[in-house]
Amino acid sequence: MNSAIHSLKELTIEIRSLPRPVFVLVLGQFLNRLGAFVFPFFGLFLKDKSFEMSEIAGVMAALGAGHFLGPVAGGYLADAIGRRNTIVLSLLSSGSSLLGLYFIDNYILLLALGAFYGFTVFVFGAPASALLTDLVPEEKRVMAFALFRLAINAGFAAGPALAGFLYLKAPILIFLGDALTTFAFAGLAFFYLPHGLRTIEGNASWSSVLANWVTAVADASRNLAFRRFLMAVLLMGISFSQIFTLLAIFAADRGLAPASYGLLMGLNGAIIMLIEIPAVQWLKRLGPKRVLMCGYALIGIGCGLFSLAETLFGFVAAMVVFTVGEIIALPIGMAYSSGLAPEAYRGRYFGLRGMTWALSNLLASGGVWLYGEMGASWWLLAGVFGIAGACVIGRK
């Protein structure tokens, strides 16, 4: 009992010692993810609008293409115009473009706006991670990133469940709610976040953007640990992304109502909200590569277990395994990669990390089509990628 009380006191002291802007980011991200209604239901929304599975896969691929390009801009802008300005720009443009996705029925326009929306959403990650790294000393970054994820998942614990009920009432409500919470975060960021470091001087031009990216990529190419981390993330991300691109369609095919699916997705956030912070307090004492290897493997196994899910209980069991892997791997991975990023290239390093996640999303979007061809067996194959990522990060 005394050791538990002592650990709780240490945890409280460490959290309270973090700079105030960290809590602004945490609050803003909570609001944003509480209202992240659209993405978990987007595939189902398109299916209900009578798009074919191949067309839905195309839209998901367009989102993934935008996701890939977003970190290129976000990483450069984070170092050039400041972290705060880039965050605000991302939030305002993504909230606006999201609303447009509801009203478009033309497939070509949907692909174009989907790519733009994906681009603007993924501008956010690099400056947010860079600002947290600017603000927090290395020994406290695991906790800072864990709090940031706690905000994401605390919002996500309630958001999808609420979205399920809103979707049944009127699909437009999930688009309106999502956009409004995104705009609220933009307001918080503009008034209460600092600019953060700016390591690129001079006026922006295509040549300067290219030159600055070339120097950052050259530095990263010599960083073996960072290269290996990116490869592991790419493989694991293919497993991870299935939960957010395919699961809604698969759950509907297995007879789960939208409300039940929303509760299932909320379970992911609720588990993370309840146990991730204490788990991270213990996990950060271990070697990060061992932790990542275990987490990536569980993500792959959890993904594969969805192939066996026939009832709500089966879906819950698979989600629990997947979520434990996520808890183990993702906050440690964010802190581990931040320690690999030199200060001069910090925004662009995080841009490279975001591009890797985006590429995994782009590759994972093919899972919608492959599921249409292979059925539930696709989940087993998708899970193999997570296990492969574990093997890569665990190499000596």
In this predicted model, what pLDDT tens digit does every residue of 299-338 receive, in sequence order?
Answer: 999 999 998 888 888 999 999 999 999 988 888 887 788 7
pLDDT at position 223 over 80: yes
Answer for the pair 231, 98: CB distance below 8 angstroms, yes or no. no
In this prediction, residue 47 has a pLDDT band, given cuts at 50, 70 and 90, of: confident
Query: Residue 181 gets which letter from DSSP?
Result: H
Answer for the pair 101, 120: CB distance below 8 angstroms, yes or no. no
175-213 confidence digits (pLDDT tens): 888 888 889 999 989 999 888 777 776 555 666 677 777
Q: What is the rounded CA–CA span in Å between residue 179 and residue 384? A: 35
Q: Count Cα atoms within 13 angstroms, Cβ side, for 243.
A: 30
115-159 confidence digits (pLDDT tens): 898 899 888 888 888 888 888 887 777 778 778 877 877 776 667
In this prediction, residue 35 has a pLDDT band, given cuts at 50, 70 and 90, of: low
Q: What is the rounded CA–CA span in Å between residue 32 and residue 304? A: 30
Answer for the pair 272, 327: CB distance below 8 angstroms, yes or no. yes
CB neighbour class for 1 (10 Å; exposed up to 12, middle 13-18, buried from 19): exposed
pLDDT at position 10 over 70: no
pLDDT at position 27 over 70: yes
Q: What is the rounded CA–CA span in Å between residue 145 and residue 29? A: 12
Mean pLDDT on 240-266: 83
**Sign of the CA dihedral running 116, 117, 118, 124:** positive
Q: What is the rounded CA–CA span in Å between residue 364 and residue 357? A: 10
CB burial of 78-115 (b: ≥16 within 10 Å; e: otherwise) equals bbbbbbbbbbbbbbbbbbebbbbbbeeeeeeebbebbb
**Comparison of pLDDT for 237 and 334, the residue scoring more:** 237
Residue 300: predicted pLDDT? 94
Mean pLDDT on 383-395: 89
Nearest to residue 363, comparing CAs of 276, 237, 251, 255? 237
In this prediction, residue 56 has a pLDDT band, given cuts at 50, 70 and 90, of: confident
Residues contacting 100, CB < 8 A, separation 6+: 113, 117
In this prediction, residue 4 has a pLDDT band, given cuts at 50, 70 and 90, of: low
Cα 148 to Cα 76, 106, 138, 278, distances in angstroms: 22, 37, 15, 14
Cα 322 to Cα 125, 133, 294, 301, 327, distances in angstroms: 23, 27, 12, 7, 9
In Å, the largest CA–CA distance within the chain is 63
pLDDT at position 389 over 70: yes
Nearest to residue 300, comparing CAs of 235, 365, 210? 235
Q: What is the rounded CA–CA span in Å between residue 52 and residue 186? A: 35
Q: What is the rounded CA–CA span in Å between residue 300 and residue 97? A: 33
pTM: 0.71
What is the token pair recorded at 381? 């194959």
CATH numbers and ranges of domains, the chain: 11-199+208-393 (1.20.1250.20)
- The chain-wide mean pLDDT, for the chain, equals 82
What is the token pair recorded at 196? 């953060």
In this prediction, residue 11 has a pLDDT band, given cuts at 50, 70 and 90, of: low
Task: Give the DSSP H/E element, type plus range, for residue 381.
Answer: helix 377-393
The proportion of the chain whose per-residue pLDDT surpasses 70, expressed as a percent, equals 92
What is the token pair recorded at 231? 């490869």
User: Angle, to 10 degrees, between the axis of helix 141-169 and the axis of helix 2-16?
Assistant: 80
Mean pLDDT on 28-42: 75
What is the token pair recorded at 314? 């089966």
pLDDT at position 343 over 80: no
Q: What is the rounded CA–CA span in Å between residue 295 and residue 281? A: 16
